[in-house]
Structure 1
Amino acid sequence: MNTLDHSHRDASLKPDFSKRLLSIGIVFAVIGALAILLPAWATLAGELVIAWMLVLWGALGLWFARAMRPAREWRYAAAAFGVTLLLGLAFLLFPGVGIATLTIVMMLVFLMEGVVSILLGLRMSSNLRHWSWMIVSGVCSLIVGLFILIGWPETAVWTLGLLLGVNFLSTGLSLIMLARAAKKAV
């Protein structure tokens, strides 16, 4: 008996699935394009979303810490969540500080990832084929980090928005392509 029933299609390949996927892809691509065209606005929007998330996280965490007062560690939880709440409030009250902080963190991540990827690529060079792609990835990350660093502080205004835009656009385009493939598979 054949365990694969070709008459039964995966529910994800139904025609309405490809339409939904296409719609979501278009929305993501439009958001990405707008963020790329207006990176300063997208940076501010991204910073405000993160600020509100920190405020919510801190407030709910303090509520949790209050509920765990019978445990000795409740003070540590309250302190940690209090700092999270204060950080979120600072980002809301002073968005420029939040933007600068997030951009510095992103710059450091790109620089560290670049160095680590290059070192890892060099280490793999004797064992694996196509090891050079790891170095290319590391060089790209290093270039992005250095670009942010060299242009500091002006790069803080648009970096987060541009990177969010590229991410949304690439995600949207990939979803559009998946929707096309899913439609053909039906």
Structure 2
Amino acid sequence: MSVLHPDMPSSVGDKARRGFRVTGLVFAGLGLLAILVPTVATFVVEQLVAWFLILWGIAGLLFASSFRSFSEWRLVAAGFVAVLLAGIAFVLMPGAGATILTGVLISVFLLEGVLSILLGLRLSGNLDSWRWIIFSGACSFALGMILLIAWTDAACWVIGFMVGLNFLSTGLSLLLLSRVKKI
């Protein structure tokens, strides 16, 4: 019998386990590689973002051109030109893209930290485990501050390292899931 559906044949569960195992190995391998060479991984992620921005800008310009009958079409087109130019800049100046992406990451950590601390304080009268929310917020804020202090040095490796950690944890969870007897 299967946890996913009681009527599912066991061969489907075996196939799912193999899929989890293969995908887990790929993710864990990529994660370890990114952790071992985070500057290369940062470059790869940055270039992936750059090309997505370029494609987004081009598609957006095509979209905006279909609205030429509206007076605001130029404003929409200008926004997509900015996206396109950002992507081109990331491709032509890779270090600048990593610095910007790291800055965004720092901002997210700092904002999440402050908001989590405020939420924890707000819930302190209603929730017994409110301190864990504050702890999580303090960790996010501290990580943001550490990265902010080391921003110029960290920009070349932090994105790749974080992506590597994410891939590794995803891969390990899939590998552990593949060991479950009933899928």
One fold, TM greater than 0.5?
Answer: yes
Deviations 1:66-92 (A, max 9, x none): 122122221121111110000000010
- Partner residue of 1:3? none
- Partner residue of 1:168? 167
Match of 2:182 among 167, 181, 185: 185
- Partner residue of 1:118? 117
Task: Say whether 1:134 aligns with 2:120.
Answer: no
After TM superposition, list the pairs within 5 Å mapping 1:58-69 onto structure 2: 58-69=57-68
CA distance in 1, matches of 2:165, 2:10: 31
One-letter amino acid matched to 1:42: A
Distance 1:55 1:139, change over 3 A: same
CA distance in 1, matches of 2:11, 2:86: 42
Deviation of residue 60 (structure 1)? 0.7
Distance 1:124 1:40, change over 3 A: same
One-letter amino acid matched to 1:159: V
Distance 1:82 1:22, change over 3 A: same
Task: Determine if contact 1:118/1:138 at 8 Å carries over to the other structure.
Answer: yes
Structure 2, unpaired ranges of 5+: none
Provide TM-score, normalisation by structure 1.
0.91
One-letter amino acid matched to 1:165: G
> Could you say what secondary structure the match of 2:179 adopts?
helix
After TM superposition, list the pairs within 5 Å mapping 1:7-26 onto structure 2: 8-9=7-8, 14-26=13-25
CA distance in 1, matches of 2:77, 2:151: 35
- Partner residue of 2:84? 85
Deviation of residue 149 (structure 1)? 1.1
Provide TM-score, normalisation by structure 2.
0.92
Percent identity over paired residues = 49
Bigger Cα displacement from structure 2, 87-96 vs 171-180: 171-180
Structure 1, unpaired ranges of 5+: 1-5
CA distance in 1, matches of 2:101, 2:31: 19
Runs of 4+ in 1 over 3 A off after TM superposition: 10-13
Deviation of residue 49 (structure 1)? 0.3
CA distance in 2, matches of 1:123, 1:56: 43
Deviation of residue 14 (structure 1)? 1.9
One-letter amino acid matched to 1:107: I
Deviation of residue 9 (structure 1)? 2.2
One-letter amino acid matched to 1:119: L
Task: Determine if contact 1:13/1:185 at 8 Å carries over to the other structure.
Answer: no
- Partner residue of 2:28? 29
- Partner residue of 2:51? 52
